[in-house]
Structure 1
Amino acid sequence: MINYIIKRLLALIPILIGVAIIVFLIVHLIPGDPAQTMLGERATDAALERLREQMGLNDPLPVQFWRYVKDLLRGDFGRSIMSNNPVSTELAQRFPATLELSFFAMLFAVLVGVPAGIFASIKQNSWFDNMSMMIALIGVSMPIFWLGLMFIWLFAVELGWFPPSSRIGVGLEFVPITNLYVIDSIIQQNFAAFKNVLHHLVLPAVALGTIPMAIIARMTRSSMLEVLKKDYIRTAFAKGLKKKMVIFKHALKNAMVPIITVVGLQFGVLLGGAVMTETIFSWPGLGKYLVDAIYARDFPIVQGGILFFAGVFVIVNLIVDLSYALVDPRIQYE
């Protein structure tokens, strides 16, 4: 298994190089001038030219890219054009918010999608099966920006059940430690903050988790239906085993590999694709920060953020691959 992990990690290198090349070219070929953004519209031509020279923007693209690669090899993602802070620091400050939102969105998706898929497979062609799959189809088809706006309008504006934005209420005594607010509130035994943080998480997490929930439900149903047709399942029923034991101990366990695959892939997508949700709910995560960086032509932030997401996605997929052996001992890694 160690050799397999090393091979997968080494395979990460060409992937990140390819991502770095593509992102670098796209970012530098889109219209806009970072120097103009920093100095404003009233800046003189001399001031703009001086700043471009200081930032190396006047150098040819191959020279700029080679300088960027050398910095990456040293673990230096550069400095933000707008704040002049190290990109790694900016990403580290905002990633916990994205991680926390993605985790609870996936928790919602799994807790709803897996049971729905299981019961839909048991009650195949019943009203529950048809209704759950219709809801799943609607969930997959629904645009996240529209769903988020409808959630805010209905549950925040009209009913007032949940706050429309931000991670925590104003005025609460709370000092972040890890920037994972749920964990920080538990560490500090600040149950008022814990309740408030969860209250703020509900709308964005449910909105973000709706599409993964629908995909997981459909995959669970499909995988369970395939397993329930196997001979060993019919044998288990013929031996008189209880239905719950056959479904949850024998069928579900053997149907878990494709379900784990979908859960892992969707979690990686959530980590890198929460941009729309964070923007709608004003969630101070990495996705919203990248959108602001794109508008500000902050090249180092955009490049570093996308590279970071690419690395996280590959690592999540590696963890998913390794987890297969936990549910199916027949799988061996060499």
Structure 2
Amino acid sequence: MTRYIIKRLIGLIPVIIGVSIFAFLLIHLIPGDPARAILGERATAQALTALREQLGLNDPLYIQYGRFMGQILQGDFGRSVITNSTVIEEFAARFPATLELSAAAMLIAVVVGILAGVISAVRQYSVFDNVSMVGALIGVSLPIFWLGLMMQWLFAFKLGLLDASARLSVGINLDSITNFYVLDSLLTGNWVALKDALKHLVMPSLALATIPMAIIARMTRSSMLEVLKQDYIRTARAKGLKDNAVIFRHALKNAFLPILTVMGLQFGTLMGGAVLTETIFSWPGIGRLMYEAIMQRDYPVVQNGILIISLIFVFINLIVDILYSFVDPRIRLE
């Protein structure tokens, strides 16, 4: 197991280098002068020269990249030119909001997606199968921004059941321990804040869950159909095992590897910053931070933010690779 993990960590080195090159070049290949984009069209020549010197934009690209990587290796991800806070501080302040939203969305997607996929596979070509797969296709196809706006219009403005934006209502006090509002409400016993936090969390998490839910449902159905045709499933049924034992103990367990792969990819994508969802629902996460940085031409936050988000995605996939060895013991042997 240790050798397998070390092997995977070594394999990440060229990936991280490639991501760093992409993040670095992405900013420098954008047309226009970054200094003028930051300071605006009315900036003086002296101010532009000073900012270029501050950001190191006058040096050749290879020197800029070397300095960029040297700072990264020292744990220095730069400072925001707007707030003067370090990029790490900006991300640390926003990360709990994104993690809370992504975890809620993935919980919905996994529970509903796996159940729908299993039932569809067991009852292939039934009404439920057809309806759920059509629903999955619709879920993948619906634009998140449209779905979010429609949910706000219906559940917040028309029915008044849920809140349309932010993480807590104005006037609700909550002692912050972890900056995860649902968890902090439970730890402090603040049930008013818990109810309000959940009312704010439901809509964005449902909107964010639609695409991964649809993908997980379709993958679960496909993988389960493959496994249900195997001889050991027929043997288990012939021994008189109950359907639930055959489906969940034998079939789903052996069909779970590709499902786990999809779950890891989708969670990595959500953690990468659900820009549209966080923007529509005014959710103060890293997706909204990146959107604001792009609009304000805060290039250090954009550049280093891309790298941080990519690293999050890469390490989530590493965790999924390690989980493979627990799901399928043959990977440990290899």
RMSD across aligned positions (CA): 1.6
- Per-residue Cα deviation, 1:178-199 (whole angstroms, up to 9, x for no partner): 2211122222221211111111
Q: Rate the CA distance shift 1:230–1:262 in 2: closer, same or farther, 3 A.
A: same
How far off is 1:29 after superposition? 2.4
Q: Distance in 1 between matches of 2:203 and 2:295?
A: 26
- Give 1:35-74 correspondences, 5 Å limit: 35-36=35-36, 39-74=39-74
Q: Distance in 1 between matches of 2:32 and 2:294?
A: 10
Q: Rate the CA distance shift 1:323–1:50 in 2: closer, same or farther, 3 A.
A: closer
Q: Distance in 1 between matches of 2:102 and 2:115?
A: 20
5+ residue gaps, structure 1, are none
Q: Distance in 2 between matches of 1:54 and 1:253?
A: 56
Q: Which moved more, 1:103-112 or 1:46-55?
A: 46-55
Q: Distance in 2 between matches of 1:230 and 1:47?
A: 71
Note if 1:131 corresponds to 2:131: yes
Query: Counterpart of 2:97?
Result: 97
Q: Rate the CA distance shift 1:330–1:42 in 2: closer, same or farther, 3 A.
A: closer
SS in 2 for 1:330: helix
Report if the CA contact (8 A) 1:20-1:303 is conserved. Answer: no
- Per-residue Cα deviation, 1:274-331 (whole angstroms, up to 9, x for no partner): 1111111111100111111112222221122111111111211121122223233333
- Give 1:76-225 correspondences, 5 Å limit: 76-225=76-225
Which aligned segments of 4 or more residues in structure 1 are displaced greater than 6 angstroms?
A: none
Report if the CA contact (8 A) 1:268-1:312 is conserved. Answer: yes
How far off is 1:177 after superposition? 2.2
When the two structures are superposed, what TM-score results if normalisation uses the length of structure 2?
0.95
Report if the CA contact (8 A) 1:109-1:216 is conserved. Answer: yes
Q: Distance in 1 between matches of 2:9 and 2:75?
A: 17
Q: Residue 205 of structure 1 aligns to which amino acid in structure 2?
A: S
Q: Rate the CA distance shift 1:146–1:62 in 2: closer, same or farther, 3 A.
A: same
SS in 1 for 2:83: coil
Q: Which moved more, 1:225-234 or 1:60-69?
A: 60-69
When the two structures are superposed, what TM-score results if normalisation uses the length of structure 1?
0.95
Query: Counterpart of 1:281?
Result: 281
Query: Counterpart of 2:321?
Result: 321
Q: Distance in 1 between matches of 2:127 and 2:39?
A: 63
Query: Counterpart of 2:301?
Result: 301
Report if the CA contact (8 A) 1:34-1:81 is conserved. Answer: no
Q: Residue 196 of structure 2 aligns to which amino acid in structure 1?
A: N
Q: Distance in 2 between matches of 1:65 and 1:258?
A: 38
Report if the CA contact (8 A) 1:34-1:298 is conserved. Answer: no
Q: Distance in 1 between matches of 2:166 and 2:50?
A: 39
How far off is 1:39 after superposition? 4.3
Report if the CA contact (8 A) 1:80-1:87 is conserved. Answer: yes
Q: Residue 287 of structure 1 aligns to which amino acid in structure 2?
A: G
SS in 1 for 2:115: helix
How far off is 1:175 after superposition? 2.7
SS in 2 for 1:241: coil
Percent identity among equivalent residues?
Answer: 63
SS in 2 for 1:226: helix
SS in 2 for 1:240: coil
SS in 2 for 1:77: coil
Q: Which moved more, 1:295-304 or 1:134-143?
A: 295-304
How far off is 1:132 after superposition? 0.6
Q: Rate the CA distance shift 1:167–1:240 in 2: closer, same or farther, 3 A.
A: same
Q: Distance in 2 between matches of 1:227 and 1:196?
A: 43
How far off is 1:47 after superposition? 2.5
Report if the CA contact (8 A) 2:4-2:332 is conserved. Answer: no
How far off is 1:96 after superposition? 1.1
Query: Counterpart of 1:30?
Result: 30
Q: Which moved more, 1:300-309 or 1:51-60?
A: 51-60
Q: Rate the CA distance shift 1:318–1:162 in 2: closer, same or farther, 3 A.
A: same
Q: Rate the CA distance shift 1:131–1:192 in 2: closer, same or farther, 3 A.
A: same
Q: Residue 226 of structure 1 aligns to which amino acid in structure 2?
A: E
SS in 1 for 2:272: helix
Aligned length: 334
Q: Which moved more, 1:313-322 or 1:30-39?
A: 30-39
5+ residue gaps, structure 2, are none
Report if the CA contact (8 A) 1:121-1:129 is conserved. Answer: yes
Report if the CA contact (8 A) 2:155-2:162 is conserved. Answer: yes
Q: Rate the CA distance shift 1:175–1:36 in 2: closer, same or farther, 3 A.
A: farther
Q: Distance in 1 between matches of 2:273 and 2:74?
A: 28
Report if the CA contact (8 A) 1:120-1:129 is conserved. Answer: yes
Query: Counterpart of 1:331?
Result: 331
Q: Which moved more, 1:206-215 or 1:9-18?
A: 9-18
